[in-house]
Amino acid sequence: MARFTGTFEGKVDDKGRASLPADFRDVLKRQDEVSFYVFPSPNLDCLEACDDRFMQRVEESIEEQADMFSEEEDGLTYIASEARRVSFDSTGRFVLPAEFRDYAEIEGRATFVGMFQRFQIWHPDNYAERAPIKKQRAKGMTLKLKPRGER
């Protein structure tokens, strides 16, 4: 199972070439993957990214759980219709599609944020604006874990 953790900043050139953080690349390589999926976040001004296993779970949710023509199905099919598979080379270099860079206002630099089974790609300034809000929400939070096997 993928576990993307940490926050990393990197360069993005004029052609949209960026380097996947080494920690994230290692997670994917342990799963024998040389690609990942990217799509515009339906809720935030960033990009969401995930591995093949996460996309498989989205597919299973559509086919098994989502009621046809429901809001849940609409959200899940948004991911499927917008996602693009992106390959990376041995050094982690990949190309972010231009329309995705435009959506997230990514130019020159990008911030990669681990979200356990997926990660986000942000314009560094936009992420910096959200970070204090996220930290404030986390203060005083009690972690409630469900016993294994429960969902």
Question: How confident is the model over 96-138, as pLDDT tens digits?
Answer: 999 999 999 999 999 999 999 999 999 999 999 987 666 666 6
Taking a C-beta distance cutoff of 8 angstroms, is the pair 104, 45 a contact? yes
pTM equals 0.86
Does residue 64 carry a pLDDT above 60? yes
17 by DSSP, 3-state: which? Answer: strand
Mean pLDDT taken over the chain: 89
Half-sphere exposure of 20 (CA within 13 A, CB side): 30
Amino acid making up residue 13:
D
Q: DSSP secondary-structure letter at 65?
A: I
Amino acid making up residue 140:
G
Question: How much is the pLDDT for 72?
Answer: 75
Map out the domains of the chain with their CATH numbers.
7-138 (3.40.1550.20)
Q: pLDDT tens digits, residue range 24-46?
A: 999 999 999 999 999 999 999 99
Question: How much is the pLDDT for 47?
Answer: 98
> Average pLDDT, stretch 58-72?
75
* d(C-alpha 53, C-alpha 47), whole Å: 18
